[in-house]
Amino acid sequence: MPGGGGRKAANHIYRTARADGLTIGFPPGGFISAAVLNEPGVDYELDKFSFFGTPESEDHYVFLTRRDSNLGTLDRLRAASGIRIGGQSVGHSIYILARLFSYLLSLKEPKFITGYSGPEMDQAVMRGELDARVNRVPALLQRNAEWIEKKLVDVHAILQIPKTSTHPRFAHLPELESFARTDKDRRLLEVNRAFRIASATFITPPRTPPERIRTLRDAITNAYNDPEFSKDYKKITGETPSPILPDEFDVIIKKLPRNPEDIDLYKKIAGTGPLPGH
């Protein structure tokens, strides 16, 4: 159910889906940050959902450009004006991260072009319709490992979540926080990391019977603790899982940032207007 960076699916679970424990939502992680930021289109109350953890709390995102766009160095990136950067939709986590990378890398008047699925964005980069995109590392290595092997792209920086989690294939890249100039920039990244850690998760509608919620939470907890889950997850995704169990996820939701100044800057990054100046 695409739309609104996960808001459409979350609205459906909140308002329309039957509260019998038989319909489960799995919106992109942007639905959580959209609610905290009081974004338009949010017709759900976050604290009325039940959450079920996430199989992966460690994550990595890279900012890349097509090799033949001749943007292979930071100086060239900063000198170019109007770099075309892809995204799924306003509010989608990849769109927000594209703007966050652009802000901290000090790109000059980048253009953010939405309306793509992930694979469509890959094709648009290779066709020259886009110059750049942010990629989640597992998706990049699953779908387009040849981009790295054949040097079809230049990879400029990485966002590590949590900050100390390096990725073996991209350990040489500068971490995005190294481009932060001020404490405000560093707090912006703290907010972003908090939203990314509290990322995509299963949800059930409000008023779902507690005994069914407990059954689902116990099942997911048991699955995440099963050694066979770890083996299968790595086989399917190429990544080692780093699960957050449902009860732990509840604590993370309660600790999401609420500082108005930090939230205001994040909203400017996540929105559609010009990027703020430094």
Question: Quick check: helix, strand or coil at residue 127?
Answer: helix
What are the pLDDT digits (tens) for 85-120? 999 998 888 999 999 999 999 999 999 999 999 999
Q: Are 37 and 4 in contact (CB under 8 A)?
A: no
How far is the C-alpha of 45 from the C-alpha of 33, rounded, in Å?
Answer: 12
Same domain, 114 and 96: yes
Residues 128 and 177 in one domain: yes
User: Among residues of the chain, what percentage have pLDDT more than 90?
Assistant: 72
CATH of residue 49's domain is 3.40.190.150
Confirm whether 246 is domain-assigned: yes
Residues 98 and 186 in one domain: yes
Sign of the CA dihedral 34, 38, 44, 46?
A: positive
229 burial type by CB count under 10 A (0-12 exposed, 13-18 middle, 19+ buried):
middle
Cα-based angle 186, 171, 122 (whole degrees, multiple of 5): 85
Q: Is residue 267 part of a domain?
A: no
* Claim to verify: residue 94 and residue 185 sit in the same structural domain: yes
Residues of the chain by 3-state class (helix, strand, coil), percent to 5 = 45, 15, 40
Of residues 162 and 274, which shows the higher confidence score?
A: 274
Is 227 found in the same domain as 190?
Answer: no
The structure's pTM equals 0.77
66, 43: one domain? no
Residues 247 and 188 in one domain: no
- Of 189 and 162, the one with more pLDDT: 189
Domain C-terminal end among 195, 218, 242: 195
Confidence check: pLDDT of 5 > 80: no
* pLDDT reported for residue 149: 95
Tell me if 269 is assigned to some domain: no
161 with 225, same domain? no
Share of the chain above pLDDT 70, in %: 100
State the pLDDT confidence band at 49, using cuts at 50, 70 and 90: very high
> What's the confidence (pLDDT) of residue 265?
93
- Residue 275 domain-assigned? no
Q: Is residue 273 part of a domain?
A: no
202 and 186 in a single domain? The answer is: no
Structural domain count, the chain? 2
What pLDDT score does 278 carry?
63
Average pLDDT over residues 125-143: 95
| Same domain as 188, residue 106 | yes
Specify the pLDDT at position 37: 84
* Cis amide linkage into residue 260, ω under 30° from 0: no
Q: Which of 195, 225, 241 is the last residue of a domain?
A: 195
Do 157 and 126 belong together in one domain? yes
Task: Give the CA count within 13 Å in the CB-facing half-sphere of 80.
Answer: 20
47 occurs within a structural domain: yes
pLDDT the model gives residue 274: 94
pLDDT tens per residue, range 8-38: 999 999 999 999 999 999 998 778 888 888 8
Find the mean pLDDT for residues 249-274: 89
Instruction: Confirm whether 169 is domain-assigned.
Output: yes
- Mean residue pLDDT across the chain: 93
Same domain as 35, residue 105? no
Which secondary structure element, helix H or strand E, spans residue 189, and what is its range? helix 183-197
Does 262 map to a domain?
no
> Whole domain around residue 23: which residue ranges?
4-55+198-254
User: Largest Cα–Cα distance in the chain?
Assistant: 59
Q: Please report where in the chains the tokens 């990629």 appear, as a residue.
A: 135
Is 80 exceeded by the pLDDT of residue 199?
no
Top mean-pLDDT range of 59-68, 240-249, 250-259: 59-68
